[in-house]
Structure 1
């Protein structure tokens, strides 16, 4: 039984147990094979994800699926919050599936490999976003990169500003980066705007966006 192991087991190990090796994967396979399935579900703005119990083979999350359960994703949920929920569901489903495996009552279902997609490991560089992107994309990026590595962008002053929480709102006509309000700090994007609710300035501690705006003496019409 394998959960978040991170290595592919050799054939000799896979064939050693009486019932083979099983894996709990926190996505609805074949979607999001790989090391960061929860994060990519949030980054892509998916409405649901799930858990899959898989009979392991020599591939990367390519084995037959024994059981799966869907889980709705809240539109404001971070990947950290979602991870806590899916792991709890996964533990329950795993406990239900093990006796069924021993009893031989489960029928393995082959994955649809043509519709598979990967969920590669995150890094700090890919956490960057730009205010020229849509507010919806930025909102998902911030949620998906929370708690690690934390989504960030470079301000007009050349400083890195990490955003740990934001909200997408409607806005029209202003250039990306334009400050639309300071309470809460609201900034125009390529499409719509984002309220920056919790930020981490370069070299400083986390603070709410309104406090950051006050400290930077930002006013409506400035370019962040």
Structure 2
């Protein structure tokens, strides 16, 4: 059996490794082109390409899979099955029709919730307590195909998008291991998705990164961990961007303030107002409750714990973030 594997980021690597460990014949890997990364814009291969080359597997990196020449190359490879995981491009009908066993996708959510390019980010951003992985047959729509199998995974308060990426990548590979034998033996009864329950998770935009202090402390806490380790939530301090990488859980934080709100001014502080700054963090007023920032990155600096930051810089009580 000839299997083509399509994937790009670290999330897809365990699934590729699983196929190879289980002895499946992965004849070709398709991934995104090398992209410039970092401040020096060094041309960097995708993690899946790096893994494929370790095993001597031929790698294709078409800029657009929809182009006729790309489809022709895949057709010549005569795949029996195409497995995708976070590839980053929608497969055209001409590709979906190539393999006799179809094209299956390992998607990092419990479909039909969080279709689209950023399912892990959005699950954390929206404060979900459970997520998971779904393996589905691919269709022409965006993550609309019939569901083959799924597995649930709890989201802990300590989780960030980064930790969930790792957990779900391992869960996806394990689910693939358990699913493929039944699929290849014709024992699968795929289930259509309920369109009424569909929720989309588009790629993160710059607007999604800006912290709106009028939101509740819990919503902002979810935003911070949902954008960690990339691209990061941010606020404005002295007119410059300040990334916020971590904060205390407002559902459990009981750290007392050094000064009461009434002592600071005659009126209640506006959202974004700094109420306290000490070794434990920076306490900021929100639209509902307060939030203790514990790890920040001022413009032009490295990320650091607040306890380290305040040794050299003092943020005065009454300072308003976001202006």
TM exceeds 0.5? yes
Tell me whether 1:120 sits opposite 2:217 in the alignment.
no
User: How far off its partner does 1:125 sit?
Assistant: 3.5
Q: How many residues align?
A: 223
Tell whether 2:166 aligns with 1:84. yes
Bigger Cα displacement from structure 2, 166-175 vs 132-141:
166-175
- 2:45 is matched with which residue? none
Give me the whole-angstrom Cα distance separating, in 2, the residues matched to 1:186 and 1:76: 19
Q: d(CA) in 2 for partners of 1:79 and 1:179?
A: 27
Equivalents in 1 of 2:212, 2:91: separation in Å? Answer: 40
Give, in whole Å, the separation in 2 of the partners of 1:64 and 1:32.
15
Q: Does the 8 Å CA contact 1:200/1:206 hold for their aligned counterparts?
A: yes
Q: Provide the rounded CA distance (Å) in 2 between the counterparts of 1:199 and 1:32.
A: 29
Greater C-alpha Rg: 2
Matches within 5 A, 1:72-151: 72-151=154-233
Question: 1:84 and 1:130 mapped to 2: Cα distance?
Answer: 29
Q: Give me the whole-angstrom Cα distance separating, in 2, the residues matched to 1:120 and 1:222.
A: 34
Q: In 2 relative to 1, CA 137–209 (structure 1 residues): closer, same or farther, beyond 3 Å? A: same
Tell me the secondary structure at the aligned position of residue 67 of structure 1: strand
Counterpart-to-counterpart distance in 2, 1:223 and 1:127: 18
- Asked whether the 8 Å contact 1:123–1:149 carries over to 2, the reply is no
Matched, 1:161 2:242: yes
Moved more, 203-212 or 138-147: 203-212
Q: What is the alpha-carbon distance in structure 1 between the residues aligned to residue 188 and residue 170 of structure 2? A: 22
Post-superposition shift, 1:176? 2.0
- The structure showing larger relative contact order (alpha-carbon pairs under 8 Å, at least 6 residues apart) is 1
Could you state the TM-score of these two structures normalised by the residue count of structure 1?
0.93
Maintained 8 Å contact 1:4/1:25: yes
* Counterparts of 1:179 and 1:127, CA distance in 2: 20
The Cα of 1:59 is off from its aligned counterpart by: 1.1
**Counterpart-to-counterpart distance in 1, 2:234 and 2:319:** 19
SS in 2 for 1:181: strand
Cα deviation for residue 218 of structure 1 reads 2.6
State yes or no: 1:24 paired with 2:106. Answer: yes
Shift of 1:174: 4.3
Task: Name the counterpart of 1:180.
Answer: 275
Q: Which runs of 5+ in 2 are unaligned?
A: 1-82, 262-267
Deviations along 1:134-156, one digit per CA (max 9) or x if unpaired, are 1111100001111111100113x
TM-score if structure 2 supplies the norm length? 0.65
Deviation digits for residues 62-111 of structure 1 (CA, Å, limit 9, x no counterpart): 00000011110011211011010001000010011011101111210000
- Answer yes or no: is the 8 Å Cα contact 1:127–1:151 preserved in 2: yes
